[in-house]
Structure 1
C-alpha cells in the first residue's frame, strides 16, 4: 500500500500535512475489510455562520474477519481528494478515528472535524463535500473509499420581514419588506443573497398554517418588497426554500391588525 506525505488544498486557507494516506484516487480494496453506515453531522447539512467554528462528527462502521486495526476519515471539497480545494483532517494528534470494538469482526468508529470561516472555509467551497475513508484490518487487509459519503456544507442564512402600516384598515395596501442574507466566510459578515426566489406567506390570527400569497425575487442587495391588500388579522412572513450552498430559512411572522 503506497503512502503519500501531504494533501494540498486552498492556498492560505488550509494546509494538511504529515498525513499517511494512500496515493491512489480511486477506491481500493484488498481482502474483506469493509466500511459502511457513514453518517456526517447526524445526517444534516453542516451550516456555518460568518465567524464561529463549527465542529461536526463523522461516524462509520468497519468490518474485517480478523478484527479492525485502525481507520481514518478526511473531509474534502472537489472532484477527488487529490484535486481538492479545501478539506479537514480529524481532530486529534494523528488524525485517526476513535474505534470502539463491537465484536471480534466489527468496530464503530468516530472522528470530529472543525469547519472554520477564513481557514478551511471560503465562499466558493460551499456546497457538496465528500468523506474520504480508509480502514485496515489486523491481517493487513484494507479498504479505501474516495467518496464514502457526500454531504452539504452551507453558508448560514438570515431572513427578515416587516409589514406596514400597523394597524391598517381593511382593503388598504400593506407593504411587506425584508432582506435575505447569508454568511460571507471571507469577510466574516452577512451580505444580501441576490436574485433568489422568496415566498411571501400569511397565516390568520387563529391559524397555525401559513399559505403562500406570491413569490418574489430578492434584488441586487438581497432586499425584498411587495404589496398586498389588507383583509384580516394575521402574520406575514417571507420563506426561502434554500439552495445547495445556503439553507432554507423562514422569517419570524410579523403581525398586522386589520381594522
Structure 2
C-alpha cells in the first residue's frame, strides 16, 4: 500500500528501529551546544534509480558537542508526496574529544514499491543527534540530496560514411525509469542535444537540440563537417537523471 497517510508517521515513530516518520521523526527540540557540521548522502552525487534494481547508498553525519557525541538516532530520509525510506543503524566514530563521524546506509527498492514516480526530486535527512551530556540537535531537514529517475538514450540514423557537406538525420530514443511498473518508457518533452566530435579530437560540440515526442523519439538533421563521432546527450532535470547514447561514428565518404 502506498505511503499516503499521516497515519504512517505515527506508526513509524513508534517502531523500535530507526524509521522516519513524516515529516519529522521526533517531537523533541534541540537544546545545548550539539551541532551537525556536515551531512553527506551518496558521496554528494545524485542517486539515479532504475526501474528494477535496488540501490544502497551511504549516509554520513558529522557532529560535535563539548561532551562528545553519543548517537545519531532516530534518523530517516523523506521526500516529495510522503516519500519515506528507512536508514540502517548509524555507527559513530569519534574523530576527537568533541567530534564524531556517524555512518549508515539507505536502501531503496522500486520492485518492492518503496518509491513511486512522483516521489523523485529533492529529499531530506531527518535526524536527532544525542550528546554524552544529554544535549541534542534535532532537524527534519539536516541535509538534502537528489533522488532521480534513471534515464537512458539510444541513437541511430548516422551513416557509416558521409561526405563533408552532406546532410544526415540522426534519431534517438529517450526513456526514463517508471517505478510504477518497473520498466523504461519513452520520456515526453525531454531535451536532448546532438553532439559531434571530430576525428582525432577529445572535445564534443553541440550541433543540434531536440525535444522528445510523446514516445520519447528525438530527431535532428545536420550537415556533416567531416569524419568523427556523433552522440546524443540529455542533461536531465530535477526529477530525471542525465543520459548519453553510444557513439555513432561516421567516416569520410569518397
Q: What's the counterpart of residue 5 of structure 1?
A: none
1:55 is displaced (CA, Å) by: 0.4
Could you give the per-residue CA deviations for residues 78-127 of structure 1, whole angstroms, max 9, x where no partner exists? Answer: 4xxxxx61111212xxxx41111223322210110101114221100001
Q: Which has the higher helix share?
A: 2
- Is the contact made by 1:10 and 1:120 (CA closer than 8 Å) also made in structure 2? no
Matched residues in 1 for 2:126 and 2:225: separation? 56
- Is the contact made by 1:165 and 1:175 (CA closer than 8 Å) also made in structure 2? no
Matched residues in 2 for 1:44 and 1:170: separation? 40
User: Is 1:133 the equivalent of 2:127?
Assistant: yes
Q: How does 1:39-188 map to 2 (within 5 A)?
A: 39-72=40-73, 73-78=75-80, 85-91=82-88, 96-118=89-111, 119-188=113-182
Q: CA RMSD in A?
A: 2.2
Normalised TM-score (structure 2): 0.86
Matched residues in 1 for 2:165 and 2:97: separation? 74
SS in 2 for 1:124: helix
Matched residues in 1 for 2:96 and 2:163: separation? 71
Q: What's the counterpart of residue 218 of structure 2?
A: 224
Q: How does 1:197-208 map to 2 (within 5 A)?
A: 197-208=191-202
Matched residues in 2 for 1:219 and 1:104: separation? 59
Aligned residues: 239
Q: Structure 1 residues 66 and 169, CA, compared in 2 at 3 Å: closer, same or farther? A: closer
- Is the contact made by 2:190 and 2:236 (CA closer than 8 Å) also made in structure 1? no
- Is the contact made by 2:208 and 2:220 (CA closer than 8 Å) also made in structure 1? no
Normalised TM-score (structure 1): 0.85
